[in-house]
Structure 1
């Protein structure tokens, strides 16, 4: 880091003021800043006016601190003595370089009107308050950061154009947000008509997502870019649903909420299928919604874990979901929770680094879109680990844990780690429906064999997930 070089301009008001300025100079030097001060750098026989001019105009001097008190302001305004000459030079530089932040007023006094005491040529400039030891300490970091060019608040890089600007389909941010707020108030105030408020909110979200489903062959140069763009547009619905689950899972009775949530999931499951009126079609047309349903399902699981809705989780994992009529899955009209699994091979072309291949393009997108502070990507991975556990335990289901490609030996999963304690194992038992740790371990081993996880390659921490689920330690502590 380039170190700043600072010249201090001040008035010799009295000995105490000079000592105060020297104290500031010494403190800046201790913070690694090259300080030029007359008491250190002006020797007998030197031309003080030439010294002052050279310091003010020297391009190697990155900043000039102008120590402003009533004496300095008076001499500067009336062009008296050394300060007058010095301020004349400074004011010329200031007026020539209006946008430059080289000259920094340090305010030592305030007038009776409460305004800072500044020379006329600096009245319009942003100043730093050093009028007392308390304000000096309070604002010291601000000054040092300014001198080093490392401000505390940095303007973020310009992002992409919002989807609601480029999309021909309106983003439902305002409408869904409004419906969610109405639902929130109905829940918190125990209003009548809760079903109505909830239904309106869900319908807005579903309608928006359905409008993004492809119904005729897309005229695009890159299908991967199309899938990526649509996933970005659908993220707002993911967040609305996550907010809803976080809220209502802590308020509504578990039995009632389970039934509501299963109905909502069934409706959202339909979104990953082709619309019944579409024929012919290509699988890639519906990959954006396939990833959206997969991602949203993991966010819902993570939200339920966060709110402690273990009974609801059990219902989610043990229920059967009616398949859309456009799906052809054989004689059965129902499928288990693995119906919400989704992937996208098309995203490989737009997300994989040049010359490389991603193990799970959908997981890479989920990772990139994991921008929630309350439900971070680590929570999503834990939700997927729980879903994998339930797949081990549930016959006729299969779940490939895509986001766990981003786990490592160092990653711990708090819910599973805590399940070493009996009271926390009971939470896992409520989800799985298995009350014995030994029985759970036996069934997980059976699930490993059934799913043949040995064929799953490229997981950095090994492929059996046994240690990630803390299997050996479950229910081992009081």
Structure 2
């Protein structure tokens, strides 16, 4: 069932009178279920002196108005059910064909109360292989109890999410301002955390994807947008926010698990690859503020990077980020020489 039933659930509890302590435990469970708006049928409440106990249990199991039957399974219950002895045996004869003939049935469900020495749940043979509720562990009792309540009310524990749209990349299309970095980000994060030998290549691969993807965030002053160009810059920065957050996570993981030269060098190389975005590349007209979004993005990433290494007390690495000089090829110069800038001015280089 996928929707909550409007009718009040009517639930019968089947169990074995194993010990007084077990009977008291079942009684408490029945009281807890009753407090959740469930009409619980229990022999101690509904079976009066002079009544036929077997007839009562047979009626409860077969009654179509009883919407749920909860089987409290301990060692004694499982043995009586399998041996067809006592009330549990009588119920087993009724329940068995119901379960085997209706594979999709959800009227009957078992609650495991005990396990054997090997940790296996005590369950009747007819119920083996089916999903059950486990109330053997006090630490998970509340969670399992909630599952029983949802089952009794006909409500799923997990609800299927709404279906999204067909991914655009299946059509061979690209999404403006979208960097397909999530898979590489997960690989890099997992590799760094686990200390994998592939951590270095995974981090470099991810940072290269982000660096090359910055091109998708390029903006340009147009006559139609000149008056609102600030809004265009802010929108571009906001669009980059998910990737900024990815990189902050990566900076934090590297600072915690692998603040080694190979990783800090990969980060330094990334910031070098950001520098060409601070200035005009190519032909045509441009304005100084056409690159403001890149300057802000790189500036913010650099501050977060240093901040994460300081947070995790990697002071030497943080100092290296600040002291190092960052180089890039300025291909507009005739001699194609390598230019440089220092870390504090890196994000603001023009």
Equivalent residue pairs, number:
303
Offset of residue 25 of structure 1: 1.7
Q: Give 2:48's aligned residue.
A: 43
1:296 and 2:301 correspond: yes
Q: Give 1:209's aligned residue.
A: 211
How far apart in 2 are the matches of 1:298 and 1:59?
A: 66
TM-aligned CA distance change 1:47 to 1:234, over 3 Å: same
TM-aligned CA distance change 1:113 to 1:127, over 3 Å: same
| Secondary structure, aligned partner of 2:49 | coil
How far apart in 2 are the matches of 1:116 and 1:260?
A: 52
Give yes or no for contact 2:72–2:112 (8 Å, CA) kept in 1: yes
How far apart in 2 are the matches of 1:77 and 1:310?
A: 68
| Secondary structure, aligned partner of 1:7 | strand
How far apart in 2 are the matches of 1:285 and 1:100?
A: 65
| Secondary structure, aligned partner of 1:299 | helix
Give yes or no for contact 1:104–1:127 (8 Å, CA) kept in 2: yes
TM-aligned CA distance change 1:282 to 1:78, over 3 Å: farther
1:26 and 2:28 correspond: yes
How far apart in 1 are the matches of 2:112 and 2:217?
A: 67
How far apart in 1 are the matches of 2:207 and 2:92?
A: 64
Offset of residue 300 of structure 1: 0.4
- Normalised by the length of structure 1, the TM-score is 0.44
Give yes or no for contact 1:73–1:117 (8 Å, CA) kept in 2: yes
Q: Give 1:371's aligned residue.
A: none
Offset of residue 339 of structure 1: 6.1
Give yes or no for contact 2:134–2:144 (8 Å, CA) kept in 1: no
Offset of residue 55 of structure 1: 6.2
Q: Tell me, which stretches of 5 or more residues in structure 2 are unaligned? A: 221-231, 333-339
Q: Tell me, which stretches of 5 or more residues in structure 1 are unaligned? A: 189-196, 328-332, 342-478
Offset of residue 42 of structure 1: 1.5
Q: Give 2:15's aligned residue.
A: 10
TM-aligned CA distance change 1:94 to 1:21, over 3 Å: farther
1:53 and 2:59 correspond: yes
Q: Give 1:173's aligned residue.
A: 184
Give yes or no for contact 2:306–2:318 (8 Å, CA) kept in 1: yes
TM-aligned CA distance change 1:246 to 1:23, over 3 Å: closer
How far apart in 2 are the matches of 1:78 and 1:66?
A: 16
For 1:342-400, what per-residue CA distance to the aligned partner results, in whole angstroms no more than 9, with x for missing partners?
Answer: xxxxxxxxxxxxxxxxxxxxxxxxxxxxxxxxxxxxxxxxxxxxxxxxxxxxxxxxxxx
| Secondary structure, aligned partner of 2:19 | helix
Pick one of 58, 61, 64 that aligns with 2:69.
64
Q: Give 1:340's aligned residue.
A: 347
Pick one of 105, 109, 134 that aligns with 1:104.
109
CA RMSD of aligned residues (A): 5.8
How far apart in 1 are the matches of 2:288 and 2:105?
A: 58
TM-aligned CA distance change 1:164 to 1:121, over 3 Å: same
Q: Give 1:145's aligned residue.
A: 146
| Secondary structure, aligned partner of 2:215 | coil
How far apart in 1 are the matches of 2:102 and 2:291?
A: 58
TM-aligned CA distance change 1:114 to 1:298, over 3 Å: closer
Q: Give 1:270's aligned residue.
A: 276
Pick one of 120, 123, 148 that aligns with 1:118.
123
